[in-house]
Amino acid sequence: MELRQLRYFVSVVEEGGFTRAAARLHLAQPGISAQIRQLEKELGQSLLDRSGRSVTPTEAGRAVLPYARAALAAADAVRETVDAYTGLLRGRVTLGLVSGATGHAFDIAAFLADFHAEYPSVEVALTEDSTERMQAALLAGELDLALLGTADEVPPPGAAFHLVIDVPLVAAVAAGDPLLSHPGARAGATGAVPLAALRDRPLISLPRGTGVRAALERGCAQAGFRPRVTFEAAAPHTLRQLAARGLGVAVLPEGENAPSPEGPLRVLPIVAPEMRARIALAWRTTGPTSPAARALLDRLRKALPTPPT
């Protein structure tokens, strides 16, 4: 068994086929296929199901996959650690970013440009995805770091959080919306409404898999009802536009209530229970971490804003 065979196997699984894996590795497809068949012969089990349109791991392949990734990570860590002792930092770091995670408070492009200028031999692979998928990828070792939304203050086992944003969720509605007639809202722009006032109202929210949506669904469960989400969008400004057209109540993080060109929005705090929108920098606390990933983590923790206490 050779490390290159494990690398080929992991690449085929991640790419879903031999052709894309070959392009990723800059190798010929027949050579990759032959090496994986040799690995399967040595192990006495098929690791890949080649019968469908995409190549997927067999049951044995799924069991082998985390060990193959761990072996490759360990081998990379050996090289990177030696490089660190000689003053050369290089390698590849994978960073996940939930859409809208940093808003206007942090310029991720400028940060990565500065990091690249300091460490030109470190490749940073940036990807955007939902919180649920990124958290799973982080714990599986497929991501080194992730800026993700969360409904929790406490990270899941095997991970750590550096909280970046922690603000309440608010209700944004168009002028004349019935919610503005609620007794709690009559106090003016600062008046609050209980979450129960949103029962049976059409709601406009971020999609499932985001921290804001998880906080909304958890809060509604505590209030004794299920939210009736009629519109979903990944970008907060789209939620504002839909609410400004009178299509429902947009549930947004506080501060995401900039004026809408479609018309003015009224913003009401939500209480009983209060719900929070949180963005956190997350990383694994178990398994090997490369020097390049540690360097990026250290600089991100220093550069990212922290919520007021």
pLDDT in tens, 31-48: 999 999 999 999 999 999
Question: Given this model, what pLDDT does residue 260 score?
Answer: 56
pTM: 0.73
Based on the fold, state whether residues 164 and 46 are members of the same structural domain: no
pLDDT (tens digit per residue) in 18-34: 999 999 999 999 999 99
User: Residue 74 is part of a domain; what is its CATH number?
Assistant: 1.10.10.10
Over range 67-93, report the average pLDDT. 82
pLDDT of 189 strictly over 60: no
Strand pairing of 249-253 and 265-271?
Answer: unpaired
Based on the fold, state whether residues 170 and 40 are members of the same structural domain: no
Average pLDDT, the chain: 89
Question: Given this model, what pLDDT does residue 90 score?
Answer: 83
Neighbouring-strand partners of residue 251 = 171
Neighbouring-strand partners of residue 167 = 277
Strand pairing of 159-174 and 249-253?
Answer: antiparallel
Over range 76-80, report the average pLDDT. 80
pLDDT of 255 strictly over 60: yes
Based on the fold, state whether residues 238 and 121 are members of the same structural domain: yes
Number of domains within the chain: 2
Residue 14's domain comprises: 1-86
Question: Given this model, what pLDDT does residue 309 score?
Answer: 67
As given in the structure block, the two tokens for residue 125 are 């692979």
CA–CA dist 223, 225 (Å, integer): 6
Based on the fold, state whether residues 13 and 107 are members of the same structural domain: no
Q: Which is more confidently placed, 222 or 255?
A: 222
Q: Which is more confidently placed, 92 or 83?
A: 92
Based on the fold, state whether residues 137 and 47 are members of the same structural domain: no
Confidence band for 65, pLDDT divided at 50, 70 and 90:
very high
Backbone angles phi, psi at 128, to 5 degrees: -110, 140
Confidence band for 82, pLDDT divided at 50, 70 and 90:
confident
Residue 292, exposed/middle/buried by CB under 10 A (0-12, 13-18, 19+)? Answer: buried
Strand pairing of 159-174 and 203-205?
Answer: unpaired
pLDDT of 84 strictly over 80: no
Which string of DSSP letters, residue by residue, matches 92-136?
A: EEEEEE-TTSSTTT--HHHHHHHHHHH-TTEEEEEEE--HHHHHH
CA–CA dist 19, 138 (Å, integer): 26
Over range 119-146, report the average pLDDT. 91
User: Residue 219 is part of a domain; what is its CATH number?
Assistant: 3.40.190.290
Based on the fold, state whether residues 210 and 105 are members of the same structural domain: yes
Measured CA distances, 176 to 75, 206, 263 (Å): 63, 24, 12
CA–CA dist 171, 291 (Å, integer): 44
Question: Given this model, what pLDDT does residue 264 score?
Answer: 79
Confidence band for 188, pLDDT divided at 50, 70 and 90:
very low
Based on the fold, state whether residues 188 and 82 are members of the same structural domain: no
CA–CA dist 125, 68 (Å, integer): 21
Based on the fold, state whether residues 214 and 309 are members of the same structural domain: yes
Nearest to 150 by CA among 308, 309, 281: 281
Confidence band for 257, pLDDT divided at 50, 70 and 90:
low
Q: Which of 86, 101, 121 is at the close of a domain? A: 86
Confidence band for 150, pLDDT divided at 50, 70 and 90:
very high
CA–CA dist 203, 140 (Å, integer): 34
Question: Given this model, what pLDDT does residue 190 score?
Answer: 55
pLDDT of 105 strictly over 70: no
Based on the fold, state whether residues 79 and 95 are members of the same structural domain: no
Q: Which of 86, 111, 127 is at the close of a domain? A: 86
Based on the fold, state whether residues 57 and 21 are members of the same structural domain: yes
Question: Given this model, what pLDDT does residue 62 score?
Answer: 94
What percent of the chain stands above pLDDT 70? 92
Based on the fold, state whether residues 42 and 20 are members of the same structural domain: yes
pLDDT of 261 strictly over 60: no
As given in the structure block, the two tokens for residue 85 are 């002792």
Over range 227-249, report the average pLDDT. 93
Q: Which of 31, 52, 86 is at the close of a domain? A: 86
pLDDT of 169 strictly over 70: yes
Question: Given this model, what pLDDT does residue 219 score?
Answer: 96
pLDDT of 104 strictly over 80: no
Based on the fold, state whether residues 205 and 272 are members of the same structural domain: yes
Q: Can you tell me whether residue 174 is helix, strand or coil?
A: strand
Q: Which is more confidently placed, 226 or 152?
A: 226
